[in-house]
Amino acid sequence: MFGFTLIEMVIVVAIVALLAGILVPVAFNQVDDAEKARAMADVRQISSALLLFRQDTGIWPTRSRLLYSDGNKARQETQFESSGLQHMRNALRENTPATNGWKGPYMTSFPPDPWGNRYVIEARGFVDGADPLAWVISAGPDGTFQTGCNDKSLQGDDIGIVMSN
């Protein structure tokens, strides 16, 4: 009464497979776009916390050249490292070392980027003043920094903001 032939079943399966082949890539693109948007929102939040810290204390929140969040070390991150590393929580949540005028905490958590790597504040411009630029940056979806510490614009798929001193 309601029997289906083998041809009818093959046609139905082919249609379902075709629809899946169209919809799955679209769904994955939406996920990729959402991850990139979250990373950009995180970068903006970190830079806002830095600006609030500076407004309250009159100085930038680091005496080292690199501040970082929780997460894994991204590939090519070592290009940013020099004389000092400091976790963001020291300055933005715990006031370590103590800074006059500190009214924080400026951030309560320091999560990794959507791909599990840490956000980096390359603070050369804050510390030595030779170049008034500093990066708040994520290595992006591929987990490798293409933007160098001397670059004035983002490279590759890195996500970030350049701040001026």
In this structure, how many other beta carbons lie within 10 angstroms of the beta carbon of residue 84? 13
Tokens of 49: 């916390």
Parallel/antiparallel/unpaired status of strands 159-164 and 120-122: unpaired
Give residue limits of the domains in the chain: 42-164
pLDDT digits (tens, 9 = 90+) for 42-91: 999 999 998 898 889 888 776 656 788 888 888 877 776 655 677 888 88
114 φ, ψ (degrees, to nearest 5): -60, -15
In this structure, how many other beta carbons lie within 10 angstroms of the beta carbon of residue 81? 16
Tell me how far apart the alpha carbons of residues 139 and 109 are, in angstroms, rounded to a whole number: 19
Q: Is the pLDDT of residue 39 over 90?
A: yes
Domain 42-164 in this protein, CATH class: alpha beta
